[in-house]
Every structure is written in structure tokens, then in C-alpha cells.
Amino acid sequence: MTGFDWGVIVRALPFLWDGMKVSLMLTGAGVLGGVLLGTVLAIMRLSPYRALSVAAAAYVTTFRSLPLILILFWFYFLVPLALGRPVGAFASAVIAFILFEAAYFGEIIRAGISSVRRGQLLAAKASGMTHLQALRLVVLPQAFRAMTPVMLTQSIVMFQDTSLVYVITLRDFMTVASIVAGRDGRVVELYTFAAVVYFVICFSASLAVRSLCRPAIA
Amino acid sequence: MSAAVILAEGVEKWFGAAHVLKGCSLSVSRGEVVVICGPSGSGKSTFIKCMNGLEPFQRGRILVEGVSVGEPATDLPKLRARIGMVFQHFELYPHKSVIENITLAPMHVLKRSRGEAEDGARALLRRVGLADKDRAFPSELSGGQQQRVAIARALAMEPVAMLFDEPTSALDPEMISEVLDVIGQLAAEGMTMVVVTHEMGFARAAADRVAFMDAGRVLEDRPTAEFFENPEAGRSKMFLSKILRH
Ligand SMILES: Nc1ncnc2c1ncn2[C@@H]1O[C@H](COP(=O)(O)OP(=O)(O)O)[C@@H](O)[C@H]1O
Ligand SMILES: [Mg+2]
């Protein structure tokens, strides 16, 4: 039993940082795109037009019954086929994450919209707003506020899920940490470091949002 | 009857299998105040929500300033912008301050500038006696104050008519009169209104006509004095005696 060599981490930092950038960019794109598309899905699902609500329900059910890793594979191989040209692992991962997360964010946002009293929508529409104006100006802000903690949890899960992209040759933070661990034979150091990094990021993210939420409701 | 601001004829509505409006008619002329009363579940809220198209109905027709509410081609948002509505539970937007509650529709529907909308909102707040509450949030106000803000919010759209759905029935007794005073003031200024209420003192003082609804039908619709002196239908007699007792 030799001592731990923490210097290995310092030497690998630039490499690890490249991996972290991949993880963060995928999370950012997935949350942004997922929330946008999820909002559209939620509005469709609650729409009185049956065609819209059925289409949205079918989408959500499909994506929620498939494992993320399968969807990653699927887009990695299918998007280039559909487009007739390669799009690269990163682009196909972004598309896969957005489409996958939208199904989950959509359900969260739908629950948020349903938690807002129906009278709010009626009052907004009674004042002359269109349905979409009433949603955008009155209902969605309340729905998002109610759902922020759940959406944060979903974002954290997603941040952790980005480590799956190793299956399509991308190198996220976790993948890079494993590579360094194997290459330098420093498994304990690297996996401890990775655990600490994930913990600090996820924990501070939840603290940040909690303090953001507090003064919001007057 | 082309002078009617709101004209409902033979309106029938079903919620699924439940037949909740069974041929309701009502005509409200410019400047007229009509009170609708009747037991709970008789269809009063549903009827006035049909008047601005918040609830669809299956038969009959409703004209607002001659425009048919039930017609698919009708621009309902535009029609609703001309009819103010006040709800039993106020329905102020909890995430917006009082002044933002009032300016939201004028800015986004009438495309007023913020300054113009805020000037209008302040004038309205003075009118309902809440000039100092512009920056407050709804949760910081009493029920009576919230309902007065809701009235100001509806007036900010400069409506041709106002619909009130039991505006005082969610209020503590000591706050009822401050809200009724504001509504009575509007009536005195000539606002066209339909008011669903059980406040018979208000009806006597402010209404031109009183309509009585029961089980989805308008059983009586008569000038106020006649309604109170000599209610025709046995049901409205019973209802009146019950309600006037306390
Ligand atoms: N959204 C709804 N879905 C199904 N039934 C409803 C709905 N709203 C009202 N009703 C029914 O319609 C009838 C009339 O209700 P409402 O118009 O609220 O009466 P009121 O305002 O006179 O108390 C009641 O029997 C009520 O249960
Ligand atoms: Mg009612």
C-alpha cells in the first residue's frame, strides 16, 4: 500500500476540464431545449384539441418508456442516415438529450400548469388575452415557480446522466476521469475526486435555486 | 331590441349529460343594471360565463353589441376585452403587484405603453379607494381590498359592460359594503352590468331588473320594485323569504 498521489489529478486537470465542459454543455442544452419543448408538449397535452393532446401524450409515453442510452444510440446512428451526412457525436447527443428530457420536463410543467387555479386562466382570458397570452403571462409564471424544485432535481439527474455519452464516443467528465484512472492506475484518487466534484456541483446548484426561490413569492 | 348590449336567447348548455341551462334568455340595455339571483347550482355562474364566451353553449344565441358569441368566426378575445368580469374569488394574479395586475391586459391586449397604462391604473386605484396600494401584492391585501383591485383591473380595459359573479360572497361580512359601494357607484355612473348576487339590499338600491334562476331556467325577470313587492313564481317567493330572513 503506497500513499495516495493527488498530484495525478492536478496533472490531469486540463483533460478533466474538457470533460466537464462536455457535461455542462450537454446539461445546459438539454435543460434549455428540454424546458422549451417540454412547455410546448405540456400546452399541447392540456389543449382542448384532441389531436394535439393525443400527439403530445404519445410523444411523452414513447420517450419515457425508452432508456436514455438507447435514444443516444438511436440518434447517433439515425440522425446521420436521415440527414444524409454525419452530424457528429456531440450534435446527436444534444438532440437526444433535448428530445428525451422534454418528455420529463413536459410532465413536470403539465403538473405545474394543473396546480394553478383554473380561475386564473379564466380571469386572464376574460380580460381579452388570447389563450397563449393567458398561459404565457399568467399561468406559466406561476406554474414554473411551483415546479422549480422538481425541475432542478430533474436537471441534476440529467447532469449525472450525461456520463452515458461514453457509449457514442463522447468524453464527458466521468468518462475522462475513468480514462485517467485506468491510464495512470489511480482509481481511488480519480473516483474520489469525481465524487467530490459531482457532490459540490449538485449540492451548490440546489442551494442556489433555493435562495433564488425564496423572495419570489410575495 | 338592437339597443341591447347583451342579448341572450334560449341558451342551452350541457356539461356532459347534465343539462345546466335550459333555454335562458336575458336582455341588458345600455346603462341597465340586472341582478341575477337564485339558489346555488341553478346555473348563474355558467350563464354569465356564456355571455363572454368563457363557457361554450350548445343551443340558442348570445349577442354582445350585436356580435354572436357562439359563432366560430367570432374573435372572442376581442369581444371579451370589451366586457369586464369580476369573480367570486377575485382571481388577482398572485405573482404580480397591484399595479401590474391592472396594467397587464391594457399593455398586452390594448398595446398601451407602460406609462399610459400606469397612469390609468393609478386613477382607477384612487377611484376604488386604494391609491396607496399600487406596489402591494395581492397576498398583502384583505379580501375586500383584493376585490376592489379586481374591479379596477376590469375597468382598466374601459369595458362597455361588466359581469359580476357573486363579488361579495367570499368576503368577511365587514368587507361586503366597501365592495358593494364601489359597484353601486359604477351603477350610478351608468355602467351596464349583470350582477350575480344574493345581496338583496344592493339589488333594491342599484338594480333596474332582477332575474331569478332556478334549476337552469330564468323563472322571473322583472323590474326591481315589482320583483320585491310581488314575486310571481312560488320558487322565488320561497327563495326571497329565506334570504331576507337573515
Ligand atoms: N365545469 C363544470 N363541469 C361540470 N359541471 C359543472 C361545471 N360547472 C358547473 N357545473 C354544474 O352546473 C350546474 C350549475 O353550476 P353554476 O353555474 O356554478 O351554478 P351557480 O353559479 O348558480 O351556483 C351545477 O349543477 C354544477 O354542478
Ligand atoms: Mg356560482
Distance of alpha carbon A190 from alpha carbon A154, whole angstroms: 26
User: C-alpha cell of A191?
Assistant: 473516483
> A interface mutation test: which of B85, B91, B146 has the most A CBs within 10 A?
B91
pLDDT in tens, B153-209: 999 999 999 999 999 999 998 999 999 999 999 999 999 999 999 999 999 999 999
Domain for residue A63, yes or no? yes
- With CA atoms as reference, the chain B residue closest to A142 would be B95
The number of beta carbons lying within 10 Å of the beta carbon of residue B58 is: 11
For a pocket test of ligand 1, which of B46, B57, B166, B239 has the largest count of ligand atoms closer than 8 A to its C-beta? B46
Average of pLDDT values for A152-165?
88
Tell me if B137 and A218 make a contact (CB, 8 A cut-off): yes
Confirm whether B121 is domain-assigned: yes
Give ipTM to 2 decimals. 0.93
Does the structure show a pLDDT above 70 at A218?
no
| B225 occurs within a structural domain | no
Task: Check if the beta carbon of residue B168 is closer than 8 Å to that of residue B4.
Answer: no
What is chain B's mean pLDDT, rounded?
A: 92
CA B183 to chain CA centroid, Å, is: 10
Residue type, A22: V
DSSP reduced 3-state for A63: helix
Cα–Cα distance for residue pair B35/B230, rounded to 1 Å:
16
In a domain, A35, yes or no: yes
Res. A82 pLDDT band, cuts 50 70 90: confident
pLDDT score of B123: 95
* Angstrom distance (rounded) from CA B145 to CA B223: 31
- Residue A213's pLDDT band (cuts 50, 70, 90): low
Can you list the alpha helix ranges (DSSP code H) found in chain A? 7-45, 50-64, 68-83, 89-115, 118-126, 131-134, 140-161, 173-184, 187-213
Residue A1 falls inside a structural domain: no
How does DSSP assign B142-193, residue by residue? -HHHHHHHHHHHHHTT--SEEEEESTTTTS-HHHHHHHHHHHHHHHHTT-EE
Q: Are B97 and A130 in contact, with CB atoms under 8 Å apart?
A: no
> DSSP E strands: which ranges in B3-130?
4-15, 18-29, 33-37, 59-64, 67-68, 83-86
Kindly tell me if the per-residue pLDDT of A160 is higher than 90.
no
The pLDDT > 90 percentage for chain A reads 52
Residue B111 within a domain: yes
Question: Under an 8 Å CB criterion, which residues of A touch B?
Answer: 117, 119-120, 122-130, 133, 137-138, 141-142, 145, 216-218
Could you tell me which residues are beta bridge partners of residue B28?
B6
Residue B206 lies inside a defined structural domain of this protein: no
Whether residue A217 is predicted with pLDDT greater than 50 in this model: the reply is no
Nearest CA to ligand 1 atom 24: B41
What would you report as the CA-atom Rg of chain A, rounded to the nearest whole angstrom? Answer: 21
Domain total for chain A?
A: 1
If one residue of B12, B14, B15, B85 were mutated to test the ligand 1 pocket, choosing by the most ligand atoms within 8 A of its CB, it would be: B15
Here the cell at position B201 is 339590499
Predicted confidence band of residue A185 (pLDDT cuts 50, 70, 90): confident
Q: With cut-offs at 50, 70 and 90, classify the pLDDT of residue B245.
A: low
3-state helix, strand, coil in chain B (%, to 5): 40, 25, 35
* Rounded distance between C-alpha atoms, residue B138 and residue A135, angstroms: 19
Predicted local distance difference test score (pLDDT) of residue A211: 75
Nearest CA distance, A99 vs chain B (angstrom): 30
What is the residue range of A135's domain? 6-217
Q: Which of B74, B60, B68, B71 is nearest to B9 (CA)?
A: B60
> At B116, is the pLDDT very low, low, confident or very high (cuts 50, 70, 90)?
very high
Q: Which amino acid is at A183?
A: R
**Cα gap A47→B55, rounded to integer Å:** 15
Determine, yes or no, domain membership for B20: no
Please report, for the domain that includes residue A22, its CATH number: 1.10.3720.10
Total domains in the fold of chain B: 1
The cell numbers describing B231, all together, are: 314575486
Contact A133 B153 (CB under 8 A): no
Quote the domain boundaries for residue B108.
Answer: 92-158
Triad A154, A145, A100: Cα angle to 5°: 30
- Kindly report the backbone phi and psi dihedral angles of residue A47, in degrees, each rounded to the nearest multiple of 5, phi listed first: -75, 150
pLDDT tens digits, residue range B80-108? 999 999 999 999 999 999 999 999 999 99
End-to-end CA distance of chain B: 38
What is the torsional sign of CA B205, B206, B211, B214?
negative
Within a 10 A sphere around the Cβ of B218, how many other Cβ atoms? Answer: 23
Contact assessment for residue B23 and residue B7, using Cβ atoms and an 8 Å cutoff: no
For an interface test with B, the pick among A122, A127, A133 (most B C-beta atoms closer than 10 Å) comes out as A127
Shortest CA distance to A102 belongs to which of A35, A153, A44, A5? A35
